[in-house]
Structure 1
């Protein structure tokens, strides 16, 4: 799935989506939740970054581990 498709899915489905590029260069994505954030944090590591699309399709970035953990603590519960 490409970024344009993810953006459409977030915008017209009114869902938040987390996405990042893995070590092989492939785009991975999960729903925005505690489980999804945990998977993203563990995948990118302390020096990596991930992005999330809000319900309007606007992209945001998490660059620091401190901010990633903050997002995880404030995220809604739910499965990925």
Structure 2
């Protein structure tokens, strides 16, 4: 519920969340379990998933111009033009 609450606090409407059908052959979920790397290398995640996802959302909200550029299609058009003759 923490992420849901954070979105509401930021004034983000649930109407913006779009649920889509899974792709055929798509894994139902990816369980993130760092047990093996913890046991073998002593490595621990620096950030929990819950904190990391909030930081990710904050970054996107703070970089709206970048996000609009990437999602507008211009980004893809640029690369298609640059690499069309290769």
TM-score by length of 1: 0.22
Give the number of the structure whose alpha-carbon radius of gyration is greater: 2
Relative contact order higher in (CA < 8 Å, ≥ 6 apart): 1
Please state which structure has a larger fraction of its residues in strand.
Answer: 1
More helix as a share of residues: 2
TM-score normalised by L of structure 2: 0.21
